[in-house]
Structure 1
Amino acid sequence: MSQYTEIVKPKIVPQSTSKSDSVPPPPGYTESSFSASSSITSSKTAASAKKFKQDEAELNSLKSKKIWELAIGPAKSVPMNIFMSYMTGNSLQIIPVTMTLMLLWNPLKAIFNDTNLVFAKLSTKDNGGEIVQARLVFVVCQLLNMAVGVYKLYKMGLIPHQEADWLAWKEPKAFIEKLYY
């Protein structure tokens, strides 16, 4: 039992806080970096303020790029939508009609629901005008996608555009039923 006294009755040894420890300081650590000298502190504060301004300018630049990337994002899908409209044909079947309705519904949903959500995260006090322009570009790009859907409906014959499409509202001609001599 005497051999287990260290385990049964452990001793708590306080850590020494002296600078003469055997562990060397980490790389890059200098004692002068933590001194209370005001000249070093003020120069570091000035350097950090300059770095903060650079970071702020870089952040605003990145936000501007992201705003315009989001604004023209819907325009990138216009060629794909045109190709899909071409490949589905003009017949009145479930797939072309469903795709055409989605070409109308999704841009409307994006205009009314997503426009504010997309750009709200990136707005700052300085880029208000840029966000308004980007929102307008976003809406125009969504309207381009809708235009593809409207053209597809036109080619399918679902949009009335000829005189025969309006016969229900046209007054019938009066014919002479009797001939008199």
Structure 2
Amino acid sequence: MSHLKPNAAPKWVADLHSPPTPRAKNPGIPDPPGYPSQAVSNSKKRDVTKDTKQRTPPTSEEMDTLKLKKAWEVALAPVKNLPMTAIMMYMSGNSLQIFSIMMVFMAFKTPLMGLFSTSQAFERFETESNKGKMLQVKAAYVLMQCVALALGVWKINAMGLLPTTRSDWLAWEAQREPLEFAVPAL
């Protein structure tokens, strides 16, 4: 520390105030398309920008098509998560444990929240000219959410929590006999 002056700024501060000079371009490597060469003078740069095509704003039909494509992506997004959710549910087992309960909770919460917010999910894509097509997209979205709910119902049935037998509903019917018993150790 004794070799530094008390008021001297660090090297990185000096580099910020005076950036290093750019390196010379290798003549064997061409510039990428649309990139003006640094060797081109400023007057030539202005000519190059004049020669390039000006991008025209998209028409309303093109915007509607783009919005419809994005809406379909949103509508089909719930199905993309189903394989991973199904694998996680299968791996969590059918016993009542905190992990399997959390999986079932999330299997119901996510689709229900999606169903309740269907109109909010698509309001940014909807215009006056594509209302009919958006109705199809919304119907597909609701169907995909119902498929996700069916996965949750499958898991609850596999855990034995759905009342699917007569003995679950009628008091005089005999209950099912369990296949196994677990005895806790003392």
1:117 to 115, 120, 124: 120
How far apart, CA to CA, are the structure 2 residues paired with 1:24 and 1:129?
A: 52
Q: How many percent identity over aligned positions?
A: 37
* 1:148-163 alignment runs, 5 A limit: 148-163=151-166
* Residue 143 (structure 1) aligned with residue 146 (structure 2): yes
TM-score, length-scaled by structure 2? 0.61
**RMSD of aligned C-alpha atoms?**
2.6
Q: CA deviation at 1:159?
A: 0.3
Secondary structure at the counterpart of residue 72 of structure 1: helix
Higher relative CO (Cα under 8 Å, sequence separation at least 6) belongs to 1
Superposition deviation, residue 171 in structure 1:
8.3
SS in 2 for 1:106: helix
Spell out, residue by residue over 1:56-99, the C-alpha distance to the aligned partner (whole angstroms, 9 max, x if none): 33222211110111111111111111111111010111110121
The residue number in structure 1 matching 2:103 is 99
- Quote the residue 1:41 is aligned against: none
User: Structure 1 residue 86 and structure 2 residue 105: aligned?
Assistant: no
Paired residues, what number? 127
Q: Larger C-alpha radius of gyration, 1 or 2? A: 1
Gaps of 5+ in 1: 1-22, 30-47, 173-181
When residues 24 and 134 of structure 1 are mapped into structure 2, their CA distance, relative to the original with a 3 A threshold, is closer
What does the per-residue CA deviation read over 1:37-58, in whole Å, with 9 as the maximum and x for residues that have no partner? xxxxxxxxxxx9xx55x53332
TM-score, scaled to structure 1: 0.62
* Structure 2: runs of 5 or more not aligned: 1-41, 49-53, 175-186
Question: 2:6 matched to which residue of 1?
Answer: none
Cα offsets for 1:18-47 (capped at 9, x unmatched) = xxxxx9798249xxxxxxxxxxxxxxxxxx
Q: Mark the CA change 1:28 to 1:96 in structure 2 (over 3 Å): closer, same or farther.
A: same
